[in-house]
Structure 1
Amino acid sequence: MTTAEFIREYRERDIRQLALQANRFPDVDMPYALDQIQGWQIARRKLPKWAACDGVIFPPHLSMEQCSSEPTAQYKLNLAMEWASRVGHASRMTDLTGGFGVDFSFTSCAFAAATYVERNEQLCHIVEHNLPLLGLNNATVVCADAVEYLSTVEPQTMLFLDPARRDEHGAKTVMLADCTPDVVQLLPQLLEKSRFTMLKLSPMLDWHKAVDDLQGTVREVHIVSVGGECKELLLVLSTVVESELKVYCADLSTASDTSSLFVYTPGSSAPVANSTFNIQHSTFLHEPNASIMKAGCFDELAAAYGVSPVSRNSHLFLSDEPVEDFPGRSFVVERVTTMNKGELRKALVGIEKANIATRNFPLTVAELRKRLKIKDGGDVYIFATTTAEGEHLLLISRKYR
């Protein structure tokens, strides 16, 4: 059996079990085969179109875990197309930190010509092999250091950078100044060599500080979530387009759809007062999606959707009527209780399991679950929070949508 045949036949098997059976397959390059099988299994989840393409070579595990998923890569393509249209130019782009090439394979489709730059020679060979299989014929692969290449590149419509977010010891970094290459140091060249630059950054990064560090050149901030988890922070820089900073909170559901998108201008809304009405049966409870939680745009959200915060630090919102297009999850409150033992016992009658979340509450989820003696799961949702008056409440709810 050849290595290629082994990969095709066993790619759905547990790689740990396959590794233990290596002696059975003396003609198979087992380290390479296991890398490919593991890569395909990750791609089946993150990159189904790539997994369905015969002959695609996958890189080592770390590159696969760090690469974009199809929904986030598609989002960047849409963003690149929009900005190319805005600057009236879609001739060429360069990805200075190509990596495995997922983002490049999508964003390059918005331009007549595209250049992939990567200093890792192995990744360059992989991408050069994969691009034609994926139907991309407008691309050039260059093995070079990003900073050195930037100094020689001709003006582009778009430059794309995904700075490395690990230090020399492999530890994760989240500060812009700690990433490689140093985008702040390269800023004059990036602006000179592109009509707009797109930066992909860690979702852990403080986007306010990043905007400040980039000295008034950021035109848009995009906070992108998938499946309730914040995945990427995208910044669009330009001196060609002069505009007020806008923040886009996108929660993606599939490779081609945006399930919710909330756009706002920072500081555009006055602070919204805490809820003043009594939380009771049939009150609607709203929990913002992960992108909005990351953005911290709670006043703008409340003003836009006519909802009231339970308190300044709860990050939960209330309304008397349903809000059909709220960017997050909505619930109907069925019962409300304090932490008084008698009230708790009465409110929890018939509830054996529930999904519990704490927001501005003195107990952790584990501590509260232990005190309530309720198992995890089911269709009941208990939100433990603190009102503006300092009262600890449990909002026992069920999903509205």
Structure 2
Amino acid sequence: MTTAEFIREYRERDIRQLALQANRFPDVDMPYALDQIQGWQIARRKLPKWAACDGVIFPPHLSMEQCSSEPTAQYKLNLAMEWAERVGHAGRMTDLTGGFGVDFSFTSCAFTSATYVERSEQLCHIVEHNLPLLGLNNATVVCADAVEYLSTVEPQTMLFLDPARRDEHGAKTVMLADCTPDVVQLLPKLLEKSRFTMLKLSPMLDWHKAVDDLQGTVREVHIVSVGGECKELLLVLSTVVESELKVYCADLSTASAPSSLFVYTPGSSAIVANSKLKTQNSKFVHEPNASIMKAGCFDELAAAYGVSPVSRNSHLFLSDEPVEGFPGRSFVVERVTTMNKGELRKALAGIEKANIATRNFPLSVAELRKRLKIKDGGDVYIFATTTAEGEHLLLISRKYS
């Protein structure tokens, strides 16, 4: 059996079990085969179009885990197309930190020609092999250091960077200046060489600090979540376009469009926290999506949708009526109870299972679940929170369809 035949036949098997059976297949390059099987299994989840493409070569595990998913890559393509139209030019783009090439394979479609730059010779060979299989014939692969290449590149419509977010010891970094390459140091050259630059950053990074560090050149901040988990922070830089900073909070459910999108201009909106009476009597509770939680735009959200916060730090919102298009999840409040034992016993009667979340509450989910003696799961949702007056409440709810 050849290595290629082995990969095709066993690609749905557990790679740990396959590794233990390596002696049965002396003609198979087992380390390479296991990398390809593991890569295909990850791609089937993150990159189904790539997984369905015969002949695609996958890189080692770390590159596969760090690469974009199809929904987030498609989002960046849409963003690149919008900005190319905005600057009136869709000529050339260069990805200075190519990696496995997922983002490049998508964003390059917005331009007449595209260059992939990567210092890893192994990744360059893989991408050079994969691009034609994916139908990309407008691309050039260059094995080079991003900083060195940037100093020689001709002016581009778009430059794309995904700085490495680990230090020399492998620890994750959360500051822009600690990433490699150092975007702050490269800023003058990036602005000189492009009409706009797109930065892909860790969702853990403080976007307010990043905007400040980039000295007024950031035109848009995009906080992108998939299925309720914050995945990426995208910054668009330009001196060609002068505009007020806008923040886009997108929660993606498919590759084609966000299931929810909230756009705002950072500013102050004075929203007064709810009174105890309001909290006790509101009919709906709303939980913002992960992108909005990351953005911290709770005042702007409340003003835009006419909802009221339970308290300043609760990050839960209340309304008397359904809120159409709320960017997050909405629930019908069936009962509200304090932590009084008698009230709890009455309010929780008949509830054996529930999904519990704590927001600005003194107990963890595990501690609260133990105290309530309720199993996990079911269609009941309990939000444990603290009102503006400091009262601890449980909002017993069900999803609003």
TM-score category, normalised to shorter length:
over 0.9
Contact 2:282 2:319 (8 Å CA) reproduced: no
Equivalent-residue separation in structure 2 for 1:96 and 1:325 (angstroms): 38
Contact kept? 2:273, 2:388, Cα under 8 Å: no
Which structure 2 residues correspond to residues 271-350 of structure 1 after superposition, within 5 A? 271-275=271-275, 277-280=277-280, 283-350=283-350
- Cα drift, residue 281 of structure 1: 6.0
- State the distance in 1 between where 2:18 and 2:386 align: 52
Q: Distance in 2 between matches of 1:189 and 1:271?
A: 42
Gaps of 5+ in 1: none
User: Deviations for 1:272-310, whole angstroms, at most 9, x for unmatched residues?
Assistant: 443564334661000000000000000000000000000
User: In 2, distance between residues paired with 1:13 and 1:329?
Assistant: 37
- SS of the equivalent of 2:276 reads coil
- Deviation of 1:122 (Å): 0.1
Matched, 1:181 2:181: yes
Contact residue 283 and residue 332 of structure 2 kept, 8 A: yes
- Alpha-carbon contact 2:218-2:237 (below 8 Å) kept: yes
Q: CA deviation at 1:174?
A: 1.3
1: CA distance, partners of 2:203 / 2:257:
21
Q: State the alpha-carbon separation in 1 of the partners of residues 220 and 277 from structure 2.
A: 36
Q: Measure the CA separation in 2 of the matches of 1:194 and 1:279.
A: 51
What are the Cα deviations for residues 210-248 of structure 1, in whole angstroms up to 9, with x where unaligned?
Answer: 000000000000000001000000000000000000000
> For the Cα contact (< 8 Å) 1:280–1:333, is it kept in 2?
no
Q: TM-score, normalised by structure 2?
A: 0.99
Q: Is the 8 A contact 1:275 1:308 kept in 2?
A: no
**d(CA) in 2 for partners of 1:282, 1:310:** 10
1:114-137: CA deviation from partner (whole Å, max 9, x where unpaired): 000000000000000000000000
3-state DSSP of counterpart to 1:255: coil
Give distance in 2, aligned partners of 1:47 and 1:379.
31
CA distance in 2: counterparts of 1:336 and 1:57, whole angstroms: 55
CA contact (8 A) 1:273 1:308 kept: yes
SS at match of 2:269: coil
Aligned-pair distance for 1:261?
A: 0.4
In 1: Cα distance, 2:106 partner to 2:119 partner: 20
Asked if 1 retains the 8 angstrom alpha-carbon contact of 2:359 and 2:384, the reply is: yes
2:67: which partner in 1?
67
The residue correspondences of 1:174-323 to structure 2 (distance < 5 A) are 174-267=174-267, 269-275=269-275, 277-280=277-280, 283-323=283-323
Contact 1:157 1:194 in 2 (8 A): yes
2: distance between equivalents of 1:155 and 1:201? 23
For residues 157 and 184 of structure 1, the distance between their equivalents in structure 2, rounded to whole angstroms, comes to 20
Q: Whole-Å Cα distance in 2 between the matches of residues 58 and 272 of structure 1?
A: 52
1:280–1:334 Cα contact (<8 Å) kept: no
1:255 Cα deviation (Å)? 1.0
Instruction: Please list the CA deviations of residues 253-276 of structure 1 after superposition, one character each: whole Å capped at 9, or x if unmatched.
Output: 011121000000000533444356
Structure 2 unaligned regions, length at least 5: none
Shift in Å at residue 170 of structure 1?
1.1
Determine if contact 2:276/2:389 at 8 Å carries over to the other structure.
no
Q: Deviations over 1:8-54 (max 9, x none)?
A: 00000000000000000000000000000000000000000000000
Aligned counterparts of 1:252 and 1:23: Cα–Cα separation in 2: 44
Deviation at 1:169, TM superposition (A): 1.2
- Deviation (angstroms), 1:69: 0.1
Closer, same or farther in 2 for the Cα pair 1:369/1:273, shift >3 Å?
closer
SS at match of 1:280: helix
What is the total number of aligned residue pairs between the two structures?
401
Distance 2:271 2:98 in 1: 42
- 8 Å CA contact 2:273–2:310 kept in 1: the answer is no
Please say which of residues 270-279 and 73-82 is displaced more in the overlay: 270-279
Distance, in Å, in 2 between the alignment partners of 1:27 and 1:216 is: 59
2:177·2:184 contact (CA, 8 Å) conserved in 1? yes
Please state how far the C-alpha of 1:104 moved relative to its aligned partner: 0.1
| Alpha carbons of structure 1 residues 277 and 343: separation in structure 2 relative to 1, 3 Å | closer
Q: Is the 8 A contact 1:115 1:139 kept in 2?
A: yes
Q: C-alpha deviations, 1:50-74, integer Å up to 9, x for none?
A: 0000000000000000000000000
Given that residues 335 and 347 in structure 1 are in contact (C-alpha distance below 8 angstroms), is that contact kept between their aligned partners in structure 2?
yes
- TM alignment of 1:25-64, pairs within 5 A: 25-64=25-64
* TM-score, normalised with respect to structure 1: 0.99
Tell me if structure 1 keeps the 8 A contact 2:276–2:387.
Answer: no
Q: Distance in 1 between matches of 2:309 and 2:76?
A: 32
Residue pair 2:249, 2:291 contacting (<8 A) in 1 also: yes
SS in 2 for 1:278: helix
